[in-house]
A and B are shown apart, each in its own frame.
Chain A
Amino acid sequence: MLWLGVAYLGALAALFLTAFWGQNSFTGEVERVWNVDNFRTLVTVDVYRTITLRTLGIAALVTVLDAVIAFPVALYMAKVASPRAQRLLVIAVLMPLWASYLVKAYAWRSMLGHGGLVSWLARPFGLDTPGYGLAGLIIVLAYLWLPYMILPVYAGLERLPDSLLEASADLGARNVSTLARVVLPMAMPAVVAGSIFTFSLSMGDYIAVKIVGGANQMLGNVVYDNVGAANNLPLAAAVATVPVVVMLGYLAAARRTGALEQL
């Protein structure tokens, strides 16, 4: 607990304090003068609002995409597959996590490029690769974070007693209505739990967007550019508080669904 308090919350507090300092624009030295200029910049300059909204949109789309893909996969794993197949599937889902994030992102870069695998696969359908940009980025992020959605949903569905499904069938419900009125409501906290991972990981990402996101930037890039390029640590700290605030709100909302008990 002490470790958590000092190392984690302490760092967050330091981050928040730094956001109230300024910077000498020529030498890049941090000037320890208290002001709220950084937050004023965040609110008044349009581009930061655009980037925040874009980041939220990407995170939301990635989360929805992951939930839609993960739910049937997890349902099959938990309720249909034999115990042996179940174990193999869990390993298969975990397998991509053994490979480096960068390797996967660069693999997607070559797949999404012109003349890459995606355009080759899409050509028979008269389509082309989305190329480097938002669409490509959402695909890559959804791929990268998919295991973090499948596993909580799988765990949640596994806890769902088979007797409930049988009861539903005995009462005359078809599979579809069992799914919609029994399975989905009970699995919802697990989906929300998974979405905490996919949403927060997407919010903070800045590497995938550099590799496959084309010329787009996310909040993470603004932080990165202000730390690495402009060396404006105070502004970077102010920008970094945005995802923290968003995630606090998200966690508070998730808590109401009982999702935190699912983790």
Chain B
Amino acid sequence: MKKIAAAVGACLLTLVAGCGTSSGGSSTTSGGVFTAPDVPQKKSLGAKEGALNILAWPGYAEDGSNDPKTNWVTPFEKQTGCTTTVKYFGTSDEAVTLMKTGEYDVVSASGDASLRLVASGDVAPVNTGLISSWADIRPFLKDRPWNSVKGQMYGIPQGWGANLLMWRTDTVKPAPTDWGAVFAKNSPYAGKITAYDAPIYIADAALYLMQTKPALGIKNPYALDQKQLAAAVALLKVQRPQVSEYWNDYLKEVSAFTSGDTVLGTTWQLITGLLQADKVPVKAIFPKGGSTGWSDTWMVSAKSKHSNCAYAWMDYITSAKVNAESAYYFGEAPANVKACDLVPDKTFCDTFHAADKAFADQIWYWTTPIQQCLDGRKNVQCTDYGDWTQAWTEIKG
């Protein structure tokens, strides 16, 4: 983790083009952070249990209720006989909490949830030999610090993408190009700005400071010492009075942009797609200077009572055809190499740089901040997620 972080940091700072130097198998460095509890992995597949409870980001496990044409849960049920229920969550923290109940069999975890789930023993290691689509997953997504510990995979990658900057084209002129638009003092759009409602959003402010205030010495937005966290918090407190609403329910952001109560802020491609489908004049970009983002992994609960159905789901959802459909619907780069040939829009994978490891390395994937600085600093203690949560409450005031 440190190696990648340092490499990406160096790339962004010096703006060197060839960022693809860090090796994929860097889990050894994260091994010192914690030891994963001893949870047995599945040895072989048995009879399907006939039921499955999925915990997913909105858009990952569509059952046709949003759009009858977008449905990959029903075909799965027909194919496997696993009656499926889907629960959506709005933040990684919510996912971690819900997984602790033990009621869900599989979860689509982002990097800021996955390691916490591994550390608390809530998810089991995944036997990739039982997943037929494993061979088609992009090599640069395998054995990454957010989905594996010491070379043991804890899930099957789903896809990755970046948090985007979105605005209403009819009110926000000229078009913004970087995150300065949402962090500026006395913005002309004060009172109509939105931001993601989770402590992890502090990393967005840190990323902006990394570029605009090099004196702070931020090398990784997820590795902030007390002083750097205070600077990020101060920036967010400048932003706070200009924020109309924080969002973590994607439908709430859709309604706020539709009515014009919000005209500028962070978004996911999924939300932009929904708005554009409704003819709301919005545009979203990957801002200059990079962005935070996610790299999601399907993980299986350690307490799952339907582990055979869970494996069937992980295999199904990451298979080329379904991965293509879900990634296309959600608006992210699919993890399955073959998915790119199956999406309806042939330019899709280029738009999302699906095969572009260098681009993927420019995104600062959500990672749980911990006391050991992720950027490799040994002389200071970094702030951990508990500090961030506390800081987030203070920012909102």
Contacts A26-B368, A132-B245, A229-B94 hold; do A47 and B259 have CB atoms under 8 A apart?
no
**Does B130 make an interface contact (CB < 8 A)?**
no
> Which chain A residues lie closer than 8 Å to B120 at the CB level?
27-29
Contact assessment for B100 and A231 in the assembled complex, using a CB-CB cutoff below 8 Å = yes
Give the contacts of A77-106 with B (CB-CB under 8 A).
Answer: none
Q: With the chains together, A183 CA to B255 CA distance in Å?
A: 47
Contact assessment for B397 and A217 in the assembled complex, using a CB-CB cutoff below 8 Å = yes
Contacts A28-B120, A109-B255, A227-B97 hold; do A232 and B243 have CB atoms under 8 A apart?
no
Contacts A27-B119, A29-B120, A229-B91 hold; do A114 and B259 have CB atoms under 8 A apart?
yes
Q: With the chains together, A26 CA to B372 CA distance in Å?
A: 12
Q: How far is the CB of A140 from chain B (nearest CB, A)?
A: 14
Contact assessment for B246 and A45 in the assembled complex, using a CB-CB cutoff below 8 Å = no
**Does B50 make an interface contact (CB < 8 A)?**
no
Give the contacts of A10-35 with B (CB-CB under 8 A).
Answer: 23, 25-29
> A231 is contacted by which of B97, B243, B370, B394 (Cβ under 8 Å)?
B97
Contacts A26-B368, A29-B120, A215-B240 hold; do A114 and B260 have CB atoms under 8 A apart?
yes
Q: With the chains together, A65 CA to B3 CA distance in Å?
A: 60
Contacts A114-B259, A229-B97, A231-B96 hold; do A25 and B384 have CB atoms under 8 A apart?
yes
- The main secondary structure of chain A at its interface with chain B is loop
**Does A225 make an interface contact (CB < 8 A)?**
yes
- For B263, the closest partner residue in chain A by CB is A114
**Does B217 make an interface contact (CB < 8 A)?**
no
Q: How far is the CB of A113 from chain B (nearest CB, A)?
A: 4
> B93 is contacted by which of A41, A132, A229 (Cβ under 8 Å)?
A229
**Does B379 make an interface contact (CB < 8 A)?**
no
Contact assessment for B116 and A26 in the assembled complex, using a CB-CB cutoff below 8 Å = yes
Q: With the chains together, A230 CA to B116 CA distance in Å?
A: 12
Q: With the chains together, A27 CA to B113 CA distance in Å?
A: 9
Contact assessment for B116 and A28 in the assembled complex, using a CB-CB cutoff below 8 Å = yes
- Give the contact stretch, choosing among B222-230, B307-315, B385-393: B385-393
Q: How far is the CB of B152 from chain A (nearest CB, A)?
A: 18
> B394 is contacted by which of A29, A45, A132, A227 (Cβ under 8 Å)?
A45
> Which chain B residues lie closer than 8 Å to A132 at the CB level?
244-245, 261
Where the two chains meet, the residues of A that have a C-beta atom closer than 8 Å to any C-beta of B are 23, 25-29, 41, 45-48, 50-51, 109-110, 113-116, 131-132, 214-217, 222, 225-232
If A215-B244, A226-B389, A229-B198 are given as contacts, then 15 extra A-B residue pairs at C-beta distance below 8 Å, sorted by A number, are: A25-B387, A25-B389, A26-B34, A26-B116, A28-B96, A45-B390, A45-B394, A46-B394, A131-B191, A132-B244, A215-B243, A217-B397, A229-B94, A231-B93, A232-B389
List 6 A-B pairs, Cβ < 8 Å.
A28-B116, A51-B397, A114-B261, A215-B396, A228-B97, A230-B93
